[in-house]
Structure formats: C-alpha cells, structure tokens
Amino acid sequence: MKVLLPLSLLALLAPGISANTLSEQLQQCSRITPDSSRLICYDKLNAALEQSAEQNFGRGQQQISQAPQSIQATITHIRAAAHNKRIITLDNGQIWGQSDGSRVHWKAGDPVVVERGLLGSFFMKPAEGRRKIRVKRLR
C-alpha cells in the first residue's frame, strides 16, 4: 500500500497519462485517504498548474481563468527589429515582439514585468519602472 500510493500520485501528476482535466485531477486528489498524502497531491497539482499558466502566458485566449495577470522575468537577449522595434527574449524562454513605436533602452539582464492589458493586449515594463511598451508574444 505504501509503495502504491506514491506511484499513484506520480501517475496522477504526469500530464496526459491518467487524468485529462483539472476536475478529474482534483477528484483523484480528494480520494486519497491520508491527509498528508492528499495535501502533497494538491500541492503538486497546484505547482503544475502555476508552471503551466506561466508557460502559456501570452498565448491567445485559451484558458484565461488559469493565466496570471502578470509575470516577472529577466531579459536574456534583445535585438532590433523593423521600424525601431525590439524582439525581446526572456529567461523563461518566451519571446516577445514590441508592437508600438516607443523607445526603450533596455539590455540583457534587466528584470521586466509583462502584464495583461485590455482586449487581449500585453505590456512590458521594467520591474522597477513605469514606462510600458505594448508587446505581442511571438513564441
């Protein structure tokens, strides 16, 4: 029994193996009898959801209820694009393209915040700043 419980938790949290929907995963966690094991299941499910939400941040309108309002990251690479715009790569692997004509003087290593705007728009600003640029997720 002690060996089966960790294996069942692992199967539950492996994407696409056991439960497909959040509702099914929550139901499976709720069926675990020992309180500590049930809490571990919920904690792992929460961590997986947070990671998924951050990875999907900026991608269309899919699963908006799970997406955060903003993320914080560090610029790893920034390059010029057409019309004085920038292509910005973040440390989480996301690539964002500037979609307005604002001038920015950012460099690799600068911490930034990407936040959700109205009507599916996104803005990027320095973590300790106020000046925003409009961006669109490229990858």
Give the angle 50-135-65 at the CA atoms, nearest 5°.
30
Asked, for residue 60, whether it belongs to a domain, the answer is no
Task: Please choose, from the candidates 75, 135, 83, 82, the residue with its C-alpha nearest in 3D space to the C-alpha of residue 105.
Answer: 75
Q: What is the CATH number for 94? A: 2.40.50
pLDDT at residue number 20: 54
Domain residues for the domain of 102 are 65-137
pLDDT tens-place string over residues 12-46 = 444 443 445 777 788 888 888 888 888 898 888 88
Beta carbons within 8 Å of 96's beta carbon, 6+ residues apart: 58, 87, 88, 90, 114, 122, 124, 135, 136, 137, 138
Q: What is the number of alpha carbons within 13 Å of residue 11 lying toward its C-beta?
A: 8
Do 70 and 47 lie in a common domain?
Answer: no
pLDDT tens-place string over residues 67-97 = 678 889 999 999 988 888 889 999 989 999 9
Percentage of residues in the chain with pLDDT exceeding 70?
77
User: pTM for this one?
Assistant: 0.53
